[in-house]
Amino acid sequence: MTVKLVNLLDILAKSVAGILATIAFATLCLPVFEKATSTFIAWRFGAVGYVYYEIGEDRKGALDVTGDGNLRLLSADRYLFEDIRWGDKLQSSDAASFRTGPSRSERSMFVLENPNCIIVFSRSTKIDVTDAVTGGWLYVGTTSCGLFN
């Protein structure tokens, strides 16, 4: 009976190792797996809450973060609130409040400082802004910005 148990545990350990190796390989080779893995890790192990994202025009007419949002989407071709998708990473350019709900009246859990990063779970509430181009609340989790951060 002991030999059967040892064999069963050996098979189980090898199966788990194989599954983990497959996931690790897929994460390295396929961006969708990397995004899914990063999002799951942020949801499970990071702080989860809401941040305000807003983009306005600078003096030259180019799109840039505003003092209200202070978050930069880490994508070269997308800027607007409507362009933000599940799994996108944003980096704080200055102090940005991390809140318990999608409103300025909600309690601030802490402040994201430069260069803290967050990952998007969903767009929560689009806000009709007057002094900016676009803005709204995002449901997010904290994550690393890169390999050494």
Look up residue 38 and give its DSSP letter: H
Q: Give pLDDT tens digits for 7-55.
A: 888 899 999 998 888 877 766 676 777 788 888 888 888 889 999 888 8
Residues 116/136, Cβ–Cβ less than 8 Å = no
The pLDDT value recorded for residue 27 is 64
Q: How many CB atoms lie within 10 A of CB 134?
A: 20
Q: Flag whether pLDDT at 138 surpasses 90.
A: yes
Q: Flag whether pLDDT at 148 surpasses 60.
A: no
**Alpha-carbon span 24 to 1, nearest angstrom:** 35
Residues 6+ apart with CB under 8 A from 106: 50, 99, 100
- To the nearest whole number, what is the mean pLDDT of the chain? 82
Q: Give pLDDT tens digits for 75-99.
A: 777 778 888 999 899 888 888 888 9
> Lowest mean pLDDT: which of 71-80, 91-100, 130-139?
71-80
The pLDDT value recorded for residue 43 is 86
Return the SS3 of 75: coil
